[in-house]
């Protein structure tokens, strides 16, 4: 068996085990890929198996019941918002023409531009897509998040139309660079592995100096307050606290503090009293305004949530908010870590892309 890609760098990085050439993954744990001698690629995501078949490849045997995805791909329907930035970063956004996210809910400039030029359009919520639009557009692949498992009839309907469905799990990666490494899967799908590999390596090398720095000792709380007054925080082993640690900070909540449960959710709600007790003297507060709407000043924040007035970070003016693109721009992990590091080292000289400081 051999790797389809001829790039010597990729061949050197991929692993050979018992005659099988496997895609080398440094961080990602939620998918694997094996390259076959007929040019096909076997991909495993969770318990699902896929076979990616190159154009004009001779493939007829599918005894394992894997989902067959035939290249070249075009008019792809992407209902997994976290995948869009990964696809765009491979240079393949033009092959996606349909999405389940409305124009006004996109914060990626390239996606909005595609809408503006009528190269992409909304075809309904993931749980109720416009099936006629999928057929008329000759859709070659539907990319879904695991939310589709809550609407299994929709998945079955799309498959009954002869459209393969790939359920991606990049958001399940606990390590930030693992989420970003899913770009390698989209490089395989859209036949642009070189671009995907090069992009990933460039982003990883960008934070080498950050990772080699000593810890700053700065304590950090990342949170937002919901409409019921509960404080929503990230679980300690989620990718956001991991980015904080990689940037040299110390996430203020531990698993013992939060008594975290074993479900797959990355966030949990705690009572304001618990949040106050653990975070009132935290060095830096980062408010997730992506969820509750933009906040412009410290006065706006404390008027909305008076209890925060007593917090040390508020008194020092060391409170930051997230920009709307933070969770859609999956490939921004390295940039986010760099920005966090600049906050922790008090070296914020230029405008940031993912966070902004609250002024008076």
- Give the CATH number for residue 180: 3.40.50.1980
User: Do 172 and 236 belong to one domain?
Assistant: no
Tokens of 26: 């440094």
**Integer Cα distance of 252 and 272 in angstroms:** 15
Among 153, 183, 206, the domain-final residue is 206
Q: Which of 123, 194, 193 is nearest to 163 (CA)?
A: 123
Residue 266 included in any domain:
yes
CB contact at 8 A, 14 and 23: yes
- 130 domain-assigned: yes
* In-domain check, residue 177: yes
Q: Biggest alpha carbon distance in the chain? A: 68
Domain annotation covers residue 3? no
Burial readout 13-52 (b: 16 or more C-beta within 10 A, e: otherwise) = ebeeeeeebbbebebbebbebbbbeebbbbbebeeeebbb
Categorize the per-residue pLDDT at 179 as very low, low, confident or very high, splitting at 50, 70 and 90.
very high
Statement to judge: residues 293 and 171 lie in one domain: no
Is residue 1 in a domain?
no
On whether residue 308 sits in a domain, the answer given is yes
pTM of the model as a whole:
0.88
Residue whose C-alpha is closest to residue 70's, from 192, 196, 191: 191
Please indicate, yes or no, whether residues 348 and 241 belong to a single structural domain of this protein.
yes
**Does residue 334 share a domain with residue 254?**
yes
State the pLDDT at residue 65.
Answer: 84
Q: Indicate whether 17 and 141 sit together in one domain.
A: yes
Going by pLDDT thresholds of 50, 70 and 90, the confidence category of residue 358 is very high
In this prediction, what percent of the chain has a pLDDT beyond 90? Answer: 78
Is the same domain home to 160 and 224?
A: no
Q: Is there a single domain that holds both residue 200 and residue 250?
A: no
Q: Is residue 40 domain-shared with residue 175, that is, in the same domain?
A: yes
User: Using one digit for the tens of pLDDT, what is the confidence trace for 215-246?
Assistant: 999 999 999 999 999 999 999 989 999 999 99
Q: Are residues 123 and 170 in the same domain?
A: yes
Q: Are 340 and 249 in contact (CB under 8 A)?
A: yes
Q: Residue 257 contacts by C-beta under 8 Å, 6 or more apart in sequence?
A: 274, 278
Give yes or no for residue 4 having a pLDDT over 90. Answer: no
Element (H, E) at 10: helix 8-13
Mean pLDDT of 314-330: 92
CA distance 255 to 83: 29
> Which residues does residue 327 pair with via DSSP β-bridges, in sequence order?
none
End-to-end CA distance of the chain: 63
Is position 25 within any domain?
yes
Whole-number pLDDT of residue 98? 98
Centroid of chain to Cα 267: 15
How many domains is the chain partitioned into structurally?
A: 2
Q: Which of 69, 78, 166 is nearest to 126 (CA)?
A: 78
Residue finishing a domain among 176, 206, 236: 206
Q: What's the domain range around 287? A: 214-357
Residues 111 and 136 in one domain: yes
Give the tokens for residue 123: 């075809």
Structure-block tokens of residue 179: 């989420």
Q: Which residues of 155-170 are buried (b: 16+ CB within 10 A; e: fewer)?
A: beebeeeebbbbbbbb
Angle, CA 164 vertex, CA 160 and CA 168 arms, to 5°: 125
- Tokens of residue 342, six digits: 């600049």
Task: Label residue 262 by pLDDT band (50, 70, 90).
Answer: low
Tell me the sheet residues that pair with 45: 31, 48
E strand spans, the chain: 15-17, 20-22, 31-35, 41-45, 48-53, 67-70, 76-78, 96-99, 121-122, 142-144, 165-167, 219-225, 231-234, 250-251, 267-270, 284-287, 319-322, 355-357
**What's the pLDDT tens digit per position in 265-302?**
789 999 999 999 999 999 999 999 887 778 989 999 99
Q: Which residues are CB-contacts of 301 (< 8 A; sequence separation ≥ 6)? A: 287, 295, 308, 314, 319, 358
The last residue of one of the domains, among 184, 206, 228, is: 206
Specify whether 219 is located in the same domain as 198.
no
Q: Are residues 194 and 218 in the same domain?
A: no
Residue 132 in domain: yes
pLDDT tens-digit profile of 78-134? Answer: 999 999 999 999 999 999 999 999 999 999 999 999 999 999 999 999 999 999 999
Give CA–CA dist 176/332, Å, rounded.
Answer: 9
């Amino acid at each position: 068996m051999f790797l389809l890609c001829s790039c010597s760098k990729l061949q050197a990085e991929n692993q050979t085990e018992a005659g099988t050439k496997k895609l080398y993954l440094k961080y990602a744990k939620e998918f694997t890929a094996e390259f076959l001698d007929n040019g096909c690629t076997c991909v495993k995501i969770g318990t699902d198996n896929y076979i990616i078949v190159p154009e004009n490849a001779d493939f007829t045997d599918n005894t394992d019941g894997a989902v067959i995805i035939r290249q070249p791909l075009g008019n792809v329907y992407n209902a997994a918002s976290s995948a869009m930035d990964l696809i765009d970063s491979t240079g393949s956004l033009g092959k996606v023409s349909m999405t389940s996210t409305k124009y006004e809910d996109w914060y990626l400039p390239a996606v909005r531009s595609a809408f503006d030029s009528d190269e992409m359009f909304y075809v309904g919520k993931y749980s109720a897509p416009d099936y006629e639009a999928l057929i008329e557009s000759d859709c070659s692949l539907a990319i879904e998040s695991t939310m589709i498992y809550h609407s299994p009839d929709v998945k079955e309907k799309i498959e009954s139309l002869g459209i393969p469905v790939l359920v991606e799990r990049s958001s399940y990666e606990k390590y930030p660079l693992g989420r970003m490494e899913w770009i390698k899967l989209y490089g395989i799908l859209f036949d642009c592995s070189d671009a995907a590999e090069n992009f990933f390596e460039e982003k990883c090398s960008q934070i080498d100096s950050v990772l080699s720095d000593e810890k700053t000792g700065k304590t950090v709380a990342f949170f937002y307050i919901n409409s019921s007054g509960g404080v929503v925080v990230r679980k300690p082993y989620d990718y956001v606290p991991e980015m904080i640690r990689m940037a040299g900070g110390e996430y203020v909540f531990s698993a013992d503090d939060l008594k975290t449960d074993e479900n797959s959710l990355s966030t949990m709600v705690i009572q304001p009293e618990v949040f106050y007790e653990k975070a009132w003297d935290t060095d830096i507060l980062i408010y997730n305004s992506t969820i509750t709407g933009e906040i412009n000043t410290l006065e706006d924040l404390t008027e909305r949530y008076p209890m925060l007035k007593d917090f040390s970070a508020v008194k020092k003016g060391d409170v930051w908010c997230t920009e709307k693109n933070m969770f859609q721009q999956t490939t921004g992990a390295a940039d986010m870590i760099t920005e966090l590091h600049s906050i922790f080292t008090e070296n914020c000289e230029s405008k940031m892309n993912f966070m902004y400081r609250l002024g008076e």
